[in-house]
Amino acid sequence: MACSTNQCCAVSDHNTRCLNLITYGGNHCELHRPKATSLYLKYKEVARMSELLDINKPIDDIDQRIDHVMKCYSKFNKTFNARLKHRKYAFVPEFYDKGHDYQFARLKERLDECETILSKLYYESSLKVTVSSIEECSDNTVSTIPLRIKKCNKRRRDIEEDIDNWIDKYIEENREIMNRKYGLMNNIIIFILRMFDEYDADKAIENAFPKCVMVYHLIRTLREYGYFSKDYQGKSLKEYIPFRCGKDCECNGYEALDLRLVCGCIRENNTISKFFNLASEDGLKIFFGTLIFNKNKILPLIEDIKSLYMVHEGHTMYLKLYLEWDPIQSRLEISQNFNKEHIPSSSVLAVSRLKKKQQIRKLLA
């Protein structure tokens, strides 16, 4: 499940990252989601068709072979342009990754291959093709293969140059914001690793990602359950009231609360910088402030995670866990959930939205 507090990944009208929160568990807010989705679906459709094309399909007739390769060339150009349109609209440059770059590199390889084949066929046959044989780069004044290739190649280079110039401009105009945010991320990472008693510059890099992801989700869950004594600015909050078992339970104990230390966000954001960059700067400030002002309440829970981590290592964040009140230690503790009955988080969060009197009455029932 995606984080509801993630910031939209699209570019705003002011050439900055959109400040709105995402909706529908995706990457975009209500404003940018429709067009981002439409551009993505158009790209996927032409990409699917392009993947089915075989440039080197054996065709004896040279006219038919030229026509086939030219159609492939047109489809690859359309796919390339559709991918660029989606990328420029839907994602700010800091979300560009090697996966996206690989897709562009692969498309350019196929375009280059088409151009090589077409040039060879042209010089071997000195034949011309009809204007209708290429859709994307058609021009009634251009009828020879070399000129068509030159025109398409130049258009593609111009688009790439335009994108590169825009990226440089975006980075320059947003340098202060990005430096401030990455500085904040760095402080958060160091703080979390020190809570795990292992801030070693050499070891930190390989251990940072799972631990930061787990602590991020732990803090968010505890905030939603109302566990902390201070907010992110250090102001005192209401005392935490543990969730009692239901009326029909005779144990007089406490409900086990659902805890998940990971979400679907990490599938496409599998580095610590990309993961934290999903949140807004204000969101990171709230997270960091909550860590700082509630460190004493968090540290015992970190010890619980450390015990699990010694056994499961990075897989710890995928474990099914629960939080349960320990009246002796007077704190919540984390345990692995071996089919233990627990209260769904949706039920708990529904309680947290009630007015104070109603909340207290329901928790003590």
Residues 6+ apart with CB under 8 A from 8: 17, 18, 19, 20, 21, 22, 27, 28, 29, 31, 32
- Could you tell me the CA-to-CA distances from 137 to 44, 141, 228, 242, 329 in Å, in that order? 20, 11, 61, 67, 72
Both tokens of 125, joined, read 């046959």
d(CA 234, CA 327): 26
Per residue in 176-216, pLDDT (tens digit) is: 988 999 999 999 999 999 898 765 555 556 678 899 999 99
What's the whole-model pTM score? 0.74
Where is 207: in which H helix or E strand?
helix 201-225
State residue 204's pLDDT score.
Answer: 55
Tokens 């629960």 sit on residue: 322
State residue 302's pLDDT score.
Answer: 95
State residue 343's pLDDT score.
Answer: 43
Q: Do 47 and 87 meet the contact criterion of CB atoms below 8 Å apart? A: no
Number of other CB atoms surrounding residue 48 within 10 Å: 10
Residues facing 322 on adjacent strands:
258, 335
Exposure of 310 by Cβ count < 10 A (0-12 exposed, 13-18 middle, 19+ buried)?
Answer: exposed
Which residue in 14, 43, 20, 45 sits closest to 33, CA to CA?
A: 20
Q: Do 131 and 137 meet the contact criterion of CB atoms below 8 Å apart? A: no
Residues 6+ apart with CB under 8 A from 6: 21, 22, 27, 265, 278, 279
Q: Which amino acid is at 164?
A: D
Residues facing 244 on adjacent strands:
254
CA angle, 33 then 38 then 40, to 5°: 95
* Backbone region of residue 78 per phi and psi (left: phi > 0; alpha: psi in -120 to 50; beta: other values): alpha
Residues 6+ apart with CB under 8 A from 247: 365
**Length in residues, the chain:** 365
Exposure of 246 by Cβ count < 10 A (0-12 exposed, 13-18 middle, 19+ buried)?
Answer: exposed
Number of other CB atoms surrounding residue 355 within 10 Å: 8
Q: Please give the span between the terminal C-alpha atoms of the chain, in angstroms, as a whole number.
A: 31
State residue 286's pLDDT score.
Answer: 93
Which stretches of the chain score pLDDT less than 50?
1-2, 127-136, 138-143, 341-365
Q: Do 300 and 329 meet the contact criterion of CB atoms below 8 Å apart? A: yes
Per residue in 273-323, pLDDT (tens digit) is: 889 999 999 999 999 999 999 999 999 999 999 999 989 988 999 999 999
Q: Do 331 and 300 meet the contact criterion of CB atoms below 8 Å apart? A: yes
Both tokens of 169, joined, read 């401009």
Exposure of 21 by Cβ count < 10 A (0-12 exposed, 13-18 middle, 19+ buried)?
Answer: middle
Look at residue 291 and give its three-state secondary structure: helix
Beta strands 257-259 and 321-326 are: antiparallel
Q: Do 8 and 22 meet the contact criterion of CB atoms below 8 Å apart? A: yes
State residue 264's pLDDT score.
Answer: 84
Residues 6+ apart with CB under 8 A from 56: 117
State residue 134's pLDDT score.
Answer: 46
